[in-house]
Amino acid sequence: MAALFNRLLLATEHSEFDTGSEALALILARDAGIPLQAVLPVLSNPEFEMAAPQLAAQADAAAARRREALQALARAQGVALSVNVRHGAEPSAEIVQVAQEQATDWIVIRRRGKRGLLANLLVGEMVSKVVAHAPCSVLVAPRGARLWQRRVLVGVDPLAADPATLAQACALAAQWQLPLQLVCVASSEEARAAAQQALQAALLQARQHVAAAEGEVRVGRPFQELLGAAKHCGADLIVLARHRPEAPLRAWIGGVAQKVIGLAECPVFVQVHPTASTSA
């Protein structure tokens, strides 16, 4: 597992919405035999601290309690955990900054929380910003998430598969000895032939690493077809690419990712290209 990641960062507020992401991060760190880093963002700013010092003190005390509870949870699972409490007006910016400072390989984060649910019905506002600006790949977990055990599904760009995303999906499937399902969604029947060509090229690459790799072309709205394919084949991990500004022709997956993350019943791994700008 060390080949997949060496530095894992859990972004959490240790709320009821974070149970799935916390469980996944702890399992991954424990099985990999590595310490787990966590960042616990606290919404704050100098003006608030000066105007309402008592409320600021209460927020600090609440953060300390959440930190202690999270550390107790990690100790119970035999995981060495270091929690970084970060104050700031923009929690997502604090998470991204910690990931940059620690040269994180993966960020593990919840799908949404109470504040995010009001701002965005699919994916929390904080989470959307982390996925958009993270310097590394992001594993987004729904509330009841569990470690994948059945099948990995990867979305293949109908123009040409992204090599980094396909390689990551193959590595995930191989690490957990799971079959891999490649799904390429064409926008229309007229585009099916091109999508089939992209899929076949991707399958050739995938089968060099995962023997049990299969694929299919679907026609329709990408997010609906990807979710439908995941349900049909029993996939419990979905791998997608984040939109890269230097590849505008592949922007469809960027628009699709948020809907897939928000509606999927399983964790979604968003592959971030190593050279991707954090302003993506």
Six-digit token string for 214: 């299969």
280 located within any domain: no
276 located within any domain: no
Could you report the per-residue pLDDT of 19-55, keeping only the tens digit for each?
999 999 999 999 999 999 999 998 876 666 666 677 7
CA atoms of 117 and 113, how far apart (whole Å)? 6
Per-residue DSSP letters for 91-134? Answer: HHHHHHHHHHHTT-SEEEEES--HHHHHH-SSS-HHHHHHHHH-
232 located within any domain: yes
CATH number at 182 reads: 3.40.50.620
The answer to whether 117 touches 127, Cβ cutoff 8 Å, is no
| Average confidence (pLDDT) over 80-104 | 95
- Would the pLDDT of 278 be above 50? no
Number of domains in the chain: 2
CA atoms of 51 and 58, how far apart (whole Å)? 14
Q: Are residues 127 and 12 in the same domain?
A: yes
Q: Are residues 134 and 18 in the same domain?
A: yes
- Would the pLDDT of 187 be above 60? yes
Q: Are residues 134 and 192 in the same domain?
A: no
Q: Are residues 110 and 188 in the same domain?
A: no
CA atoms of 119 and 124, how far apart (whole Å)? 7
Q: Are residues 123 and 161 in the same domain?
A: no
Tell which phi-psi region holds residue 199, choosing left (phi > 0), alpha (psi between -120 and 50) or beta.
Answer: alpha
Q: Are residues 49 and 130 in the same domain?
A: yes
277 located within any domain: no
Q: Given 98, 120, 141, which residue is the final one in a domain?
A: 141
- Would the pLDDT of 146 be above 90? yes
| Average confidence (pLDDT) over 179-207 | 96
Could you report the per-residue pLDDT of 149-166, keeping only the tens digit for each?
999 999 999 988 889 999
CA atoms of 245 and 243, how far apart (whole Å)? 7
Which pLDDT does position 244 carry in this prediction? 54
The answer to whether 221 touches 253, Cβ cutoff 8 Å, is no
275 located within any domain: no
Q: Given 141, 169, 203, which residue is the final one in a domain?
A: 141
Q: Are residues 135 and 157 in the same domain?
A: no
pLDDT: which is higher, 275 or 214: 214
Could you report the per-residue pLDDT of 219-258, keeping only the tens digit for each?
999 999 999 999 999 999 999 998 654 444 344 445 788 8
Expressed as residue numbers, the domain containing 231 is 152-266
Q: Are residues 237 and 262 in the same domain?
A: yes
Q: Are residues 131 and 197 in the same domain?
A: no
Q: Are residues 86 and 128 in the same domain?
A: yes
Phi then psi dihedrals of residue 32, to 5 deg: -85, -15
The answer to whether 238 touches 230, Cβ cutoff 8 Å, is yes
How far apart, in Å, do the first and last CA atoms of the chain sit? 28
CA atoms of 279 and 166, how far apart (whole Å)? 23
The answer to whether 170 touches 211, Cβ cutoff 8 Å, is no
Tell me the one-letter amino acid at 226. L
Nearest CA among 78, 61, 67 for reference residue 26: 78
CB atoms within 10 A of CB 54: 7
Nearest CA among 262, 264, 241 for reference residue 253: 241
Six-digit token string for 227: 């979710």
Residue 14 CA to its chain's centroid (Å): 17
29 located within any domain: yes
Could you identify the residue written with the tokens 């955990």?
Answer: 81
Number of H helices, E strands in the chain: 10, 10
274 located within any domain: no
Per-chain mean pLDDT for the chain:
88
